[in-house]
Amino acid sequence: RTHRVELEGGSLTLITVNASTPEKRLDAWEADLAGVHEAATAHSSEPVLLIGDFNAVREHLTMRQLTASGLTDAVDQTGAGWLPTFPANRWYPPLFAIDHVMVNDRLRVLSLSTFDIKGADHLGLVAQIALS
């Protein structure tokens, strides 16, 4: 879903992501992320922020395509390293970094961290974003 967000000093396009799970319906997952890529590309002349559950790690082709189109994962901008977010409701720590915050070159990510959401199977991500 694409949203227009008005801020002091400007505005941005927010794209919220909740991709299908690839192990259940690979075609739906690919279509979801192709739609995310299309929306981000359509708004590339303005600040773009993508947030949510991509159900993909950075090494997936779909994520590499987003990066190749000019988007940067917040973990790269902040140097946050590996921030696994799933599964968060087990006795062991999360194993997969499938939730992401991504921006184009018109935004900067100042900080990124995870937090627990009671009862959820994902950790949440908190990012501090600034207009470039």
Q: Does an H or E element contain 78, and which?
A: helix 74-78
Q: 75-91, pLDDT tens digit by residue?
A: 999 999 899 999 999 99
Contact 112, 101 (CB under 8 A): yes
CA distance 107 to 122: 25
For residue 39, give the nearest of 98, 104, 100, 97 by alpha carbon.
104
E strands in 2-132: 2-7, 10-18, 48-53, 72-73, 99-103, 107-115, 124-131
pTM of the model: 0.93
Q: 14-70, pLDDT tens digit by residue?
A: 999 999 998 888 999 999 999 999 999 999 999 999 999 999 999 999 899 999 999
